[in-house]
């Protein structure tokens, strides 16, 4: 049972979000972008812990490839991209089935038909890169509709509001509780699902260890598990920014030759299809997130300062990584 103070805070957060859902869609497109960039800039200045995470992540990922000035610039832009994603989610009721192509273009959409056949059943592996929220919404408007697991909010009053906005493209968002079982049943019925696969999860929760910028990280194996049990192909996808506040959603080639792969190898193949895009344009990725919470006991290169040794992480690493 939340304390009286927490209930009061939750109510204030709900009021603030309700007001934002009413006011943000009134902004012009240009004003929305300007407000988001301003908020992102302020976040990069005043969220010092978050900024330190960004800079530490960039240091270990790129090493001497980036100067201090370049890391500072990417840090600011990363906050701005995230602020855009959140503010544009609130602005997205302005998107419709008729006007969405003015804001988002789809690249390689034919990969879905080529890889899935008439059943159109597949697993989309997505990433927290640029406007991942509009990837979902505009994909739905384009006919790519599925069942998606949503992260619960600490404040339960916020969930229904975000769910209503996110489902406007036709998707169904479900809670994490028994979510994988529901996705399995949906795929068995020849449905479609999407999962965000680039966040750290505890090694004890069905995780696998993959190489991410040459560093080991613990990520979900849910997409690999679902693929192995349903046969639904995995198609990675991401959204990238274009000039003028527009976006491009890119559908990657499906992950192939999975018959002899382990879940770890499937998860690694998905990441490998995406990492080159981050290397080419780092700023839109979610660098303020702690992607490398765990480090191997005998790590042969630096990890971020926030990372720590965890026995369970060593257990999911291969012998060659210890």
Task: Give pLDDT tens digits for 4-43.
Answer: 888 999 999 999 999 999 999 999 999 999 999 999 999 9
Q: What is the pLDDT, as a whole number, of residue 1? A: 67
Q: What is the mean pLDDT of the chain?
A: 94
Tokens representing 64 are 């001497």
What 3-state DSSP class applies to 283?
A: coil
Domain residue ranges in the chain:
96-321
- 3-state SS class at 37: helix
β-bridge partners, 123: 193, 234
Beta carbons of 255 and 233 less than 8 angstroms apart: yes
CB atoms within 10 A of CB 53: 20
pTM of the shown model: 0.94
Q: State how far the Cα of 233 lies from the Cα of 56, in Å rounded to an integer.
A: 35
Q: Of 228 and 318, which is predicted with more confidence?
A: 228
> 């509001």: which residue's tokens?
161
**Residue keyed to tokens 């038909």:** 113
Averaged pLDDT for residues 296-313: 95
Q: What is the pLDDT of residue 119?
A: 72
Tracing tokens 């995780």 back to the chain, one arrives at 207
Higher pLDDT, residue 81 or 1: 81
pLDDT band at 230 (very low <50, low <70, confident <90, very high): very high
Give the Å distances, CA to CA, from 225 to 116, 126, 206, 228, 263: 18, 16, 9, 5, 7
The set of residues, in sequence order, having a beta carbon less than 8 Å from that of 21 and lying 6+ positions away, is: 90, 93, 161, 165
Q: What is the pLDDT of residues 284-298, one digit of tens each?
A: 999 999 999 999 999
Say how far apart CA 68 and CA 80 lie, in whole Å.
Answer: 19
The residue-averaged pLDDT of 232-257 equals: 96
Specify the DSSP element, H or E, that contains 274: helix 263-280
Q: Each residue of 171-205: pLDDT tens digit?
A: 999 888 888 999 999 999 999 999 999 999 999 99
Please give the pLDDT value at position 151: 82
pLDDT tens profile 112-155: 988 887 778 999 999 999 999 999 999 999 999 999 988 888 89
- Residue 263 binned pLDDT confidence (cut-offs 50, 70, 90): very high
Q: Is 217 helix (H, G, I), strand (E, B) or coil?
A: strand
Average pLDDT over every residue of 313-321: 81
Contact 112, 120 (CB under 8 A): yes
**Tens of pLDDT, residues 86-97:** 999 999 999 999
Helices (H), the chain: 4-23, 29-46, 48-62, 68-91, 110-116, 132-141, 159-166, 179-188, 222-230, 263-280, 311-316
**Which of 159, 146, 156 lies closest to 189 in space, CA to CA?**
146
At 120 the pLDDT is 82
Phi and psi, residue 179, nearest 5° = -65, -40
**Number of neighbours of residue 252 by Cβ within 10 angstroms:** 19
pLDDT at 320: 58
Distance separating alpha carbons of residues 190 and 266, to the nearest angstrom: 21
Q: Model confidence at 211, in pLDDT bands (50, 70, 90)?
A: very high
Residue 318 has pLDDT above 80, yes or no: no
Strand-pair category, 123-126 with 207-212 = unpaired
Q: How far apart are the first and last CA of the chain?
A: 43
Sequence-ordered list of residues with C-beta below 8 angstroms from that of 65, at least 6 positions apart, any chain: none
For 6-39, give one letter per residue: b (16+ CB within 10 A) or e: eeeebeeebeebeeebeebeebeeeebbebbbeb
pLDDT recorded at residue 322: 52
């Amino acid at each position: 049972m939340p304390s009286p103070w927490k209930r009061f805070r939750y109510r204030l957060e709900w009021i603030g979000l309700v007001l934002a859902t009413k006011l943000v869609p009134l902004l012009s497109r240009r004003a929305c972008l300007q407000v988001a960039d301003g908020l992102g800039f302020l976040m990069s200045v005043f969220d010092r812990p978050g900024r330190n995470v960004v800079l530490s992540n960039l240091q270990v990922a790129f090493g001497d490839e980036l100067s201090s000035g370049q890391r500072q610039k990417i840090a600011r832009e990363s906050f701005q991209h995230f602020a855009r994603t959140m503010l544009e989610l609130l602005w997205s009721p302005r998107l419709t089935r008729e006007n969405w192509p003015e804001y988002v273009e789809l690249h390689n959409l034919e990969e879905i038909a080529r890889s899935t056949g008439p059943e159109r059943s597949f697993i989309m592996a997505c990433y927290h890169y640029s406007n991942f929220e509009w990837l979902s919404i505009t994909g739905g408007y384009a006919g790519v509709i599925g069942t998606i697991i949503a992260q619960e909010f600490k404040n339960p009053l916020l969930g229904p509001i975000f769910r209503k906005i996110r489902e406007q493209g036709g998707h169904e968002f479900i809670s994490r509780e028994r979510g994988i079982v529901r996705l399995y049943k949906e795929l068995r019925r020849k449905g479609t699902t999407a999962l965000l696969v680039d966040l750290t999860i505890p090694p004890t929760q069905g995780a696998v260890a993959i190489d991410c910028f040459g560093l080991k990280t613990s990520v979900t194996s849910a997409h690999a598990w679902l693929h192995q049990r349903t046969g639904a192909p995995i198609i990675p996808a991401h959204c990238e920014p274009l000039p003028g506040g527009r976006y491009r959603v890119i559908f990657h080639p499906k992950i192939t030759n999975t018959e002899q792969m382990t879940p770890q190898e499937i998860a690694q193949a998905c990441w490998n299809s995406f990492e080159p895009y981050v290397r080419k344009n780092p700023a839109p990725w979610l660098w303020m997130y702690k992607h490398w919470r765990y480090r191997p006991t005998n790590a042969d290169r630096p990890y971020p300062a926030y990372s720590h040794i965890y026995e369970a992480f060593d257990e999911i690493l291969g012998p060659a990584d210890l």
